[in-house]
Amino acid sequence: LQGHGHNVAMTGDGVNDILAMKKADCSIAMESGNDATKRIAQVVLLDSDFSHMPHIVAEGRRVVNNIQRSAS
């Protein structure tokens, strides 16, 4: 997907996920996961509940949109 210009997110909780998380555009770890995985992740879900991701993405988009509006 990245080779075709898409952004890729990777979610993981174990050492076996680290390489894919490093290559992803956005890496998401679960709090209940391995410490090494949490250290390399860009986002750590503190309650290990992936269902919160749509809200996190929406908030990020809202912030970016506000910055773009303010800059113009």
pTM of the model: 0.77
Residue 3 has pLDDT above 90, yes or no: yes
**What is the pLDDT at residue 45?**
93
* Domain range list for the chain: 2-71
**What is the pLDDT at residue 53?**
87
- Token readout for 54 is 């749509």
Q: What is the pLDDT of residues 4-17, one digit of tens each?
A: 999 999 999 999 99
* Top-level class of domain 2-71: alpha beta
Q: What is the pLDDT of residues 29-65, one digit of tens each?
A: 999 999 999 999 999 999 988 898 899 889 999 999 9
